[in-house]
Structure 1
Amino acid sequence: MGEIVVVRDGSGPEVLLVHGGAGPRTTWGALAPLSDRWTLAYVHRRGYPPSPPPLERQDFEVDARDLAPLLVGRPHVVAHSYGVLGTLLAAAAAPGGMRSLTLIEPPLNHLVPDDPDVARLERIGDAVLTHGMGTDPAELREFLRLAGASIGDGPLPEGVVAGVRRAHGSRPTSEARPRLEVIRDTGVPVLVASGDHSAALERICDALAVALGGKRSVHAGAGHFVAAAPGFAEYLDAFLRSVAHRGPGGH
C-alpha cells in the first residue's frame, strides 16, 4: 500500500489532525488560525485524495498502521469521529508517542452498555456502513443529520451521496476495542470534546473521559463538527499550550 498524504501548514510544534468520515477541509477548516502558533498536519485517510484508496475498505486498523510512523516526533494529536478509532489503536501500540490527545465525538458505543440511545446510534451507524444507500431511508437521514451532513427533506445532495458511497463497506465501529487502559497508564494529557447535539454522543464522551482520566468539554453550535463550534479553536489552543512543555508521559 502507498503511504497516506499529510499536508502541513504553519510553524511551531506539530498538531496531527485525523479526520473521520468527512474530509480534512470540512472537519478542520475552522482551526486554520492556529497555524500562527502550531504546525497543522492534515492527515488524509485512505480514500480521501490525494491519499491512495483503500485496498479493500475503510478500516480503523489500517488507519492505525498508517498513523504509526507519524508519531515518531511525538506530535499533539486531534482526532474526530471514525478517525478516533485508528488514533486510539495507534496510541495504545506506541505508548508515549503522543504529546497530547484530543478526541472528538468517537463512535465508541460499547463504553455505554444498556443505554437505548447509544444502542440505536450503534445500530443505525453500522447499518449505513454495511448497506450504504440501501439503508432504510429514514434511518439513513437520521444518521446523516447526527453526522453533520447538510440535508433537507428533498433528495440528498450529490456530495452527501458520494460520502455515503465512500463509507459503504467500512469496518463497523462496533468492532473497535482500543486498549484504553494502556493509554491512560501512559499519563498522556487527554481532552474529550463534544457538540451537545446528541444525548448518545454526550454519554459516550463522558465515559471516554472517565476511562482515560481526561478533561471533558462541550462546545455547542456546529453539531458533529465540533472543531467549527464557536470558541473551540481558542479552547484547543489553550489546552495544547497548557501541555506543550510536559515531557514523555505528560509529566
Structure 2
Amino acid sequence: MGEIVVVRDGRGPEVLLVHGGAGPRTTWGALAPLADRWTLAYVHRRGYPPSSPPRHGQDFEVDALDLAPLLVGRPHVVAHSYGVLGALIAAAAAPSGSVRSLTLIEPPLTHLVPDDPEVAWLERTGDAVLTHGMDTDPVELRKFLRLAGAPVGGGPLPEDVAAGVRRAHGGRLPSEARPRLDSIRAAGVPVLVASGGHAAAMERICDALATALRGERSVHPGAGHFVAAAPGFAARLETFMRNPGRARATSDS
C-alpha cells in the first residue's frame, strides 16, 4: 500500500502526532510553538494528502501497522479521536519501552462505558456516519458533527465538512476496536488522557480510559473536540512529556 507521510518540524525529543478525522493542520496547529523544544512529527493518515488513499476506507488496524515502524525511535505519542485507536493498538503490540509516553485525546472507545445512554448514542451515531455517510439522518448527522467540532450552522454543510463525511464513509467502525489496554498498563507506559469538557459522554469515556491505564487525567475547555487548541493544553502536555512517570510513581509509592 506504500508508506504514509510524516512531516517533521523542530528539534529535540520526537513527538509523534496522530490525527483523527480532521487533518494534521486543524488538529495540531496550536502546538506549533513546541517545535522550539521538541521535534513534532506530523503523521498524515491514509486518505490525508500527501499520504496515499486507503484501499478500503479508514481502518484503525491499518493505522496501527503504519504507526508500528515509527515507534522505533521511542517517541512520545499524542493521538486524537479516531487516531487514538491505531495508536493504542500499535503501542500494545510494540516491544516494551518503544513508547516514551501516550497522550490520548477524546477517543471513541465507547465500550469502556457500557449501559450509558449518552455514550450509547455516541457509538450508534458515529457508526451510522461511517456506514451511511451523507445519507445519515440529517438531524443526527448535524448533532454528531457539532460534537466532533465541525463548523456546522443551520444551512447546507460547508463543503470541507461534507468532504470529511465522505472520506469517513465506509471506514472501519470505531465500536469494533478493542485495543489491549492491559498490555499497555503492564508495560508501564505513562499515559495522559485529555478531554475538552464539552460532552458528558466523552468525559465518561476519558475517565474510564484513564482508570484502565492508570493514567493522568486533564480537562481543557474552550476548543470543543479539538482539545489541542484549548487554553493550557500545550503547557500541560509539555509538563507531562518532561516528567511522564510522575503520576504513576506517586500512585505506586
Sort the TM-score into its range (normalised by shorter chain): over 0.9
Cα distance in structure 1, aligned partners of 2:10 and 2:42: 11
> Structure 1 CA distance, aligned partners of 2:162 and 2:84?
23
Structure 2 match to 1:191: 192
Alignment map for 1:62-211 (pairs within 5 Å): 62-94=62-94, 95-211=96-212
Provide the rounded CA distance (Å) in 2 between the counterparts of 1:3 and 1:63. Answer: 11
The question of whether the paired residues in 1 share the 8 Å contact of 2:191 and 2:244 is answered with no
**In 2, Cα distance between equivalents of 1:243 and 1:218:** 17
1:211-230 matched pairs, under 5 angstroms: 211-230=212-231
Structure 1 residues without counterparts, runs of 5 or longer = 246-251
Q: Secondary structure at the match of 2:217?
A: strand
2:29 & 2:83 partners in 1: Cα distance? 16
Asked if structure 2 preserves the Cα contact closer than 8 Å seen for 1:99 and 1:244, the reply is: no
| Counterpart Cα distance in 1 of 2:56 and 2:191 | 32
Which residue is 1:10 aligned to?
A: 10
Q: CA deviation at 1:102?
A: 0.1
Residue 96 (structure 1) shift: 2.4
5+ residue gaps in structure 2? 247-253
For residues 1-39 of structure 1, the C-alpha deviation after alignment (integer angstroms, 9 at most, x for no partner) is: 110000000000000000000000000000000001100
Shift of 1:127: 0.2
Specify the code of the residue in structure 1 equivalent to 2:236.
Y
TM-score scaled to structure 1, two decimals? 0.96
Report the 3-state secondary structure (helix = DSSP H, G, I; strand = E; otherwise coil) of the residue aligned with 1:243: coil
1:48-99 per-residue CA deviation (whole Å, 9 max, x = no partner) reads 0000000111000000000000000100000000000000000110032100
Alignment correspondent of 1:59: 59
Runs of 4+ in 1 over 6 A off after TM superposition: none
Q: CA separation in 2, counterparts of 1:56 and 1:71?
A: 25
Identity across matched positions, percent: 81
Paired with 1:96 and 1:83, the residues of 2 have a C-alpha distance of 21
SS at match of 1:96: coil
Equivalent residue letter for 1:9? D
Residue number in structure 2 paired with 1:249: none
Q: Which amino acid in the other structure matches residue 232 of structure 2?
A: G
Give the TM-score normalised by the residue count of structure 2.
0.96
- The 2-side partners of 1:43 and 1:231 are apart by 23
Q: How many corresponding residue pairs?
A: 245
Q: CA RMSD in A?
A: 1.0
**Structure 1 residue 242 displacement after superposition:** 1.2
Partner of 1:248: none
Report the CA distance shift for 1:244/1:6 in structure 2 as closer, same or farther (over 3 A). farther
Tell me if structure 1 keeps the 8 A contact 2:77–2:101.
yes
| Cα distance between partner residues in 2 of 1:21 and 1:199 | 20
SS, match of residue 55 in structure 2: coil
Residue 22 of structure 1 corresponds to which residue in structure 2? 22
In 1, are the aligned partners of 2:77 and 2:100 still within 8 Å (CA)? yes
Distance 1:191 1:107 in 2: 16
Residue in 1 aligned with 2:233?
Answer: 232
> Is the partner of 2:87 in helix, strand or coil?
helix
Shift of 1:244: 8.6
Matched to 2:102, the amino acid is: L
User: Is the CA contact (8 Å cut-off) linking 1:85 and 1:178 kept in structure 2?
Assistant: yes
Letter in 2 for 1:3: E
